[in-house]
Amino acid sequence: MDFNKLFQADETKVGALLPDMDRLLRKLMKFVTLRLLRGQTDLCEVKFDLRENQHDDTTVAIGMAARTFMDEEDFGPAQQAKFICEVRRFYTAVLQKMVQHFPFGDTSFVSK
């Protein structure tokens, strides 16, 4: 189930929130290298904001439509780099907000 739908559901779904928060966090970490994520048990400890822990510009997840658009519109290397830098800033800001404000580790959000 989509996290927003789960979070806004009419019926109580508290027990399902923690696993879904973890899934959402992992999904948004697509710009972080697998080497860094492999075997990581606490995703909140991942240093996702360090550039050396992120994928190269050619492999960072921006979506096929965005890459196709940049190719078709003849984005130069500087424009592409600027766009991908903004994508990195977005991912980093969202993850920082999640780590700071989501109740990761709170066992009351785990189904028993």
d(CA 24, CA 49): 17
Place 110 in a pLDDT band, splitting at 50, 70 and 90: low
Helix (H, G, I), strand (E, B) or coil at 63: coil
Average pLDDT, the chain: 86
Each residue of 54-100: pLDDT tens digit? 999 989 989 999 999 999 998 999 999 999 999 999 999 999 999 99
Q: Quick check: helix, strand or coil at residue 7?
A: helix
Beta-carbon contacts of 48 under 8 Å, excluding residues fewer than 6 positions away, are 29, 31, 32, 36, 54, 91, 92, 95
